[in-house]
Amino acid sequence: MRFSRVLRAGAVAAAATLALAACGGGGDDSGSGDGGGDGGGVSFDNLVIGIKFDQPGVGQKTPDGYAGFDVDVAKYVAKELGVDESKIEFIEAKSPDREQLIKRGDVDFIVASYSISDKRKEEVTFAGPYFVAHQDLLLSADNTSIASEEDLKSSALKLCSVTGSTSAQNVRDDFAPQAQLQEYSSYSQCLTGVESGQLDALTTDDTILAGYAAQPANQGKFKLAGLNLSDEFYGIGLEKGNTELQSAINDAIKKMIDDGSWAKFVESNLGPAGYETPEAPEITETS
């Protein structure tokens, strides 16, 4: 049976502890990472973390590296787990791939605008939440046809979201079941359709939409509808049943909120789009 990365890390730590005991060594409990955090007993030499590569303000791969709110959260959590930023490998976690990345052990955890849901909790464990977003729509700046939830009931409406996302499911099941929904592999594809007029709106979390609208190339082209269609509780996804890592990540999230880092990350990444820093959520995912 194949061990996940987390189980392998725990096995290495346990073996090292036994070896020290056999030799009569004292040792310390600082962990094997380089970042200085104690990790709540969870030890890593390095981390592979799944993030989004195409969400400005949230998770984006740039020529200079990786940027966004989720990236800052991931780096903070890694530091608290004892892993320096230089020992993090970021890989792309597209919405339909997230559960499989975790189940195959390709990542240690995922920080990728990953909404906690009962269905997903059947396959993975979550820590957090660390943020609450709200589903909204991004329209072309001159679009006046969508101003309320009532406007979403038209069968002629052409909406777009990403395959495997909670937002797409909400369109089908709840607020716009009659709409013509297009699902693409990336939000960038949806945005192109809205800009060209082939689609009426891109729908997903307001954090993601604000990030796109704030990009220099997009300023003045798009606007948010301002509809809070749902509450999306972002969690950090990890291996099903790994309560030790869950607890360590929850401790890191609490510290990040308490020491002011969380609010700083929100402001620096989403503030330029006029996004007001909300209240930090309460930790609910404790198994």
Question: Is residue 29 one of the residues assigned to a domain?
Answer: no
**27 has pLDDT over 50:** no
**1 has pLDDT over 70:** no
Question: Is residue 22 one of the residues assigned to a domain?
Answer: no
Q: What CA–CA distances, in Å, run from 181 to 55, 133, 207? A: 20, 21, 21
Question: Is residue 106 one of the residues assigned to a domain?
Answer: yes
Inter-residue contact 93 to 110 (CB < 8 Å): yes
Q: What is the pLDDT of residues 47-69, one digit of tens each?
A: 999 999 989 999 999 999 999 99
- Provide the residue type at 135 as one letter: Q
Q: What CA–CA distances, in Å, run from 5 to 14, 104, 106? A: 14, 9, 8
Residues 138 and 225 in one domain: yes
Question: Is residue 23 one of the residues assigned to a domain?
Answer: no
Q: Which residues span the domain enclosing 154?
A: 133-231
Question: Is residue 173 one of the residues assigned to a domain?
Answer: yes
What is the domain-level CATH number for residue 248?
3.40.190.10
pTM given for the model? 0.79
pLDDT at 42: 78
Residues 222 and 237 in one domain: no
Residues 82 and 216 in one domain: no
Structural domain count, the chain: 2
Strand 125-140 relative to strand 231-238: parallel, antiparallel, unpaired?
Answer: antiparallel
Q: Could you report how far apart the first and last alpha carbons of the chain are, in Å?
A: 25
Q: What is the pLDDT of residues 241-271, one digit of tens each?
A: 999 999 999 999 999 999 999 999 999 998 8
Q: What is the pLDDT of residues 97-140, one digit of tens each?
A: 999 999 999 999 999 999 999 999 999 999 999 999 999 999 99
Q: What is the pLDDT of residues 159-214, one digit of tens each?
A: 999 998 889 999 999 999 999 999 998 888 999 999 999 999 999 999 999 888 88
Residues 63 and 186 in one domain: no
